[in-house]
Amino acid sequence: MQRGPNAPVRYRVRWRTASGAERSRTFMRHDEAARYRAQIEGDLISASWIDLMLARVPLADWAAQWRSTIVDLRPTSLGRLDSTLANHVLPQWGDTPLSAITNADVRAWVARMRASGMSASSVRKAAFTLRQILAAFTVFLRVKGAGPRPSPADWRIMLDMRLRPLREVA
């Protein structure tokens, strides 16, 4: 579809993830697009860019994947971990996307558990279990995006981020 004579000019920033998937974001103003392009370029070059599509996974799905990797605990410790996960962590956070869990939300959850009369050690176990799950996901994102830093010649291939008016409007 062609841009009409009265349609606004838009600017698209396009890039590829470490796995080769194309991502893009559209802006109404050139300076906003240029700023975003610089941010993405820096993140891709330093291998610190995080694919937010991965962070949309619900905590319950990631927790199941994480739990299958826990092999260094005794059966009794695994039972306690499973119990904490099923009784405290998943009822509160199971359907929540990982990217939506904030520090303030976790602090409020801990305060509610403590105010409800739950023992300090049970609250600590629940918070520690959630922290382990989130820390494992952070490491997963870092490792997934990590890799050899591209050379300046490769940047032109990876970063198709020309800032020009779009001729097609989605």
Please report, for the domain that includes residue 91, its CATH number.
1.10.150.130
**Same domain? 39 vs 110:** no
Amino acid 164: pLDDT: 43
Per-residue pLDDT of the chain (170 residues; tens, 9 = 90+): 234 466 677 888 887 765 667 778 888 888 888 888 888 777 666 655 566 667 788 999 989 988 888 888 888 988 999 999 999 999 999 999 888 888 889 999 999 999 999 999 999 999 999 988 888 887 776 654 444 444 444 443 334 444 444 443 33
Q: How confident is the model at residue 38, as a pLDDT?
A: 83
Q: What is the 3-state secondary structure (H, E, C) of 89-115?
A: HHHHHCCCEHHHCCHHHHHHHHHHHHH
157 with 140, same domain?
no
Q: Are residues 141 and 59 in the same domain?
A: yes
Indicate whether 14 and 69 sit together in one domain: no
Q: Are residues 156 and 118 in the same domain?
A: no
Asked whether residue 74 falls in the same domain as residue 139, the answer is yes
Instruction: Tell me the one-letter amino acid at 10.
Output: R
- The pLDDT of residue 28 is 83
Same domain (yes/no): 101, 133: yes
Q: Looking at the structure, do residues 98 and 157 belong to the same domain, yes or no?
A: no
Instruction: Kindly state whether residues 17 and 93 are assigned to the same domain.
Output: no
Left, alpha or beta for 117 (phi > 0: left; psi -120 to 50: alpha)?
left
Do 26 and 65 belong to one domain?
A: no
pLDDT score at 37: 85
Tokens of 126: 């629940």
Q: Which domain holds residue 19?
A: 1-47+149-170
Question: Could you tell me the pTM of the whole model?
Answer: 0.58
Q: How far apart are CA 57 and CA 30, in angstroms?
A: 32
Residues 91 and 131: their CA atoms lie apart, in Å, by 16
Are 26 and 37 in contact, with CB atoms under 8 Å apart?
no
Say what the pLDDT of residue 15 is: 74
Residue in the structure block whose two tokens are 């998943």: 90
Cα(first)–Cα(last) distance of the chain, in Å?
8
Strand ranges inside the chain, DSSP E: 11-16, 22-27
pLDDT confidence of residue 3: 46
The tally of domains found in the chain comes to 2
Asked whether residue 10 falls in the same domain as residue 22, the answer is yes
Q: Between β-strands 11-16 and 22-27, what pairing exists: parallel, antiparallel or unpaired?
A: antiparallel
11 and 63 co-located in one domain: no
Q: What is the pLDDT of residue 44?
A: 63
d(CA 127, CA 84): 10
Question: How far is it, in rounded angstroms, from Cα 50 to Cα 43?
Answer: 8
